């Protein structure tokens, strides 16, 4: 086979002569090149797929192991959290039991002192009778629920005791208020009743006249005490009463302390039952040192001996 090559310089030409083996070899190479290329591509692609599969399998196994570890860690955290909550509930239960015992003891003591132990208030420290075989708990959750149930019952009992104590406090305060308002305190510690309430022979004129109070003969300077709690509405000189103190009490009551020597209170003062308000004297229309005590209800004189007899 001859190949003629023409050059640009001078228009000369050259001839190449190829023998038949070289021509056949070149044509075979050109025809086999696509097949060789396809084989290389297939070989390369086939060698990569198993690697990808092995990598995918490896990644899946790692993810599974990590998930299992995370689950175990989460389970351990939940168990620890449950244990902490159970311990906290147990401590709270102990505190509630202690508080309930104290409330019961206090309530029983107060009802005894107030003479109210007739069933109106119940501070029984004993739990109601219960029993039965003890079976193992199926899970820690049920144990926590049992503790919570006990906590709820104790909380209800504590709330009940608190309400009873509040009612008991109100009752005692009312009793104390009523006791302070009662006009039953002896106005002088020494001396004696020298003249009673009602009609009598007047000590000065000797004529029969109404005596609207009680006379307590006592040495001058003897302390005079309020027979009940109230407010001082008058403290000064008033005619035949001499130096007099007037106290207003609840329920429309009023008391007067006449012929006093000195005052210990003034108008507007709040006085307690038994508080010293003056001293015995002989001022005004009087034959000697004594206290003249009067008790009024809604403007009408009442025998003070009624109240003093209640003491």
Write out pLDDT tens, residues 43-56.
665 555 444 555 55
In whole numbers, what is the pLDDT of the chain averaged over residues? 75
- CA dihedral sign, ordered 37, 38, 41, 47: negative
Taking Cα atoms as reference points, which of 286, 220, 302 lies closest to residue 253? 302
Domain boundaries, the chain: 2-73, 80-118+140-181, 192-308
37: its two tokens: 């290329």
pLDDT per position as a tens digit, 218-246: 999 999 999 999 999 999 999 999 999 99
Compute the average pLDDT of residues 87-113: 72
E strand residue ranges, 152-275: 192-195, 198-201, 208-211, 214-217, 223-225, 230-237, 243-248, 253-258, 260-263, 270-271
Highest mean pLDDT among 111-125, 162-176, 249-263: 249-263
CATH number belonging to domain 192-308: 2.70.70.10
Band (pLDDT 50/70/90 cuts) for residue 130 is: very low
Tell me how far apart the alpha carbons of residues 49 and 52 are, in angstroms, rounded to a whole number: 5
Residue scoring higher pLDDT (119 or 111): 111
**Residue 248: CB atoms within 10 Å:** 14
* Residue indicated by tokens 């070899």: 25
- Residue 12: CB partners within 8 Å, gap ≥ 6? 6
Highest mean pLDDT among 206-210, 271-275, 307-311: 271-275
Is residue 286 very low, low, confident or very high in pLDDT (cuts 50, 70, 90)? very high
pLDDT of 191 strictly over 50: yes
Name the residue with higher pLDDT: 31 or 240: 240
């Amino acid at each position: 086979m001859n190949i003629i090559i023409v050059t640009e310089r001078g228009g000369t030409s050259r001839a190449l002569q190829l023998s038949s083996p070289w021509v056949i070899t070149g044509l075979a190479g050109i025809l086999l090149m696509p097949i060789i290329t396809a084989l290389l591509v297939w070989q390369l692609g086939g060698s990569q797929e198993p690697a990808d599969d092995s990598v995918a399998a490896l990644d899946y196994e790692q993810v599974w192991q990590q998930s299992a570890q995370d689950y175990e860690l989460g389970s351990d955290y939940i168990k620890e959290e449950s244990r902490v909550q159970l311990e906290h509930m147990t401590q709270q239960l102990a505190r509630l039991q202690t508080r309930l015992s104290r409330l019961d003891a206090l309530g029983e003591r107060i009802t005894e002192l107030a003479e109210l132990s007739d069933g109106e208030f119940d501070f029984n420290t004993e739990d109601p009778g219960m029993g039965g075989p003890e079976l193992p708990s199926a899970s820690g959750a049920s144990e926590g629920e049992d503790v919570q149930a006990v906590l709820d019952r104790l909380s209800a009992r504590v709330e009940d005791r608190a309400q009873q104590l509040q009612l008991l406090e109100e009752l005692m305060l009312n009793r104390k208020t009523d006791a302070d308002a009662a006009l039953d305190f002896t106005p002088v510690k020494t001396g004696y009743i020298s003249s009673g309430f009602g009609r009598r022979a007047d000590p000065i004129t000797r004529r029969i006249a109404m005596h609207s109070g009680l006379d307590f003969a006592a040495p001058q300077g003897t302390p005079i005490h309020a027979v009940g709690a109230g407010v001082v509405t008058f403290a000064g000189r008033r005619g035949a009463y001499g130096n007099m103190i007037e106290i207003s009490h609840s329920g429309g009551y009023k008391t007067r302390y006449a012929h006093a020597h000195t005052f210990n209170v003034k108008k507007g003062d709040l006085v307690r039952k038994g508080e010293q308000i003056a001293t015995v004297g002989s001022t005004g229309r009087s034959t000697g040192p004594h206290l003249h005590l009067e008790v009024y209800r809604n403007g009408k004189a009442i025998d003070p001996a009624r109240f003093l007899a209640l003491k």
